[in-house]
Copies of this chain bind each other. A is one copy, B any other.
Amino acid sequence: MVKQTLVTDCGSEPGLISIDTAMALLSTSVTPLAVERIPVAQACQRTLASDTFAAVDLPAFSQSAVDGYALRINGSAPAGSRFTLSGEIRAGQVVDRVLQPQHAVRIFTGGKIPPGTTTVARQEIVQRVSSSGIELLAALEPHRDIRDAGEECRKGSLLAQAGQYLNAGAIAALAMAGVSQVAVYRLPRVALLITGDEVSSRGQAADSVDDGKIHDANGPLLSAWFQQHGIACERFYVEDCMDTVAQTLAQLKANYDLVISTGGVSVGDYDFIRAAAKTSGFEQVFWKVDQKPGKPLFFARCIANETVGKDTGSNEQNNCYLLGLPGNPAAVYVTMQVYGKILLNALQGVSHLPQWFPARLQAPIKADKRERLLRMVYTFVNGEIVVSNPGNQQSHMLGNLFQTNCLVRIPADESLSAGMRVFCQITNLFQAY
Task: Write the residues of chain A forming the contact surface with B, with a CB cutoff of 8 angstroms.
Answer: 39-41, 44-45, 55-56, 58-61, 65, 67, 90-94, 108-112, 147, 152-153, 155, 159-160, 164-180, 196-199, 203-206, 209-225, 227-228, 230, 240, 266-270, 327, 329, 332-333, 336, 341, 350, 352, 354-355, 357-358, 375, 380, 383-385, 392, 394, 396-399, 401-402, 404, 421, 426-433
Contact = CB atoms under 8 A, between A and B. Distances in A.
A68 to B, nearest CB: 10
A167 B428 contact: yes
Given A357-B380, A383-B421, A402 B211 contact: no
Contacts of A94: 210-212
A214 B197 CA distance: 60
20 contacts: A45-B228, A67-B267, A67-B268, A90-B197, A91-B197, A91-B270, A92-B196, A92-B198, A92-B240, A110-B214, A159-B399, A165-B431, A169-B221, A172-B221, A172-B401, A175-B217, A177-B215, A179-B206, A354-B432, A429-B429
B176 A215 contact: yes
A224 B171 contact: yes
B329 A358 contact: no
A268 B178 contact: no
Nearest to A378: B355
Nearest to A271: B67
A392 B221 CA distance: 41
Nearest to A52: B402
A222 to B, nearest CB: 8
B164 A402 contact: yes
Nearest to A112: B212
Contacts of A91: 196-198, 212, 240, 270
Contact of A329 (B153, B176, B217, B432): B176
Contacts of A404: 169
B220 A172 contact: yes
Nearest to A430: B165
Contact of A90 (B240, B332, B433): B240
Contact of A206 (B55, B167, B357, B429): B55
Contacts of A392: 152
A385 B341 CA distance: 22
A26 to B, nearest CB: 16
B61 A211 contact: yes
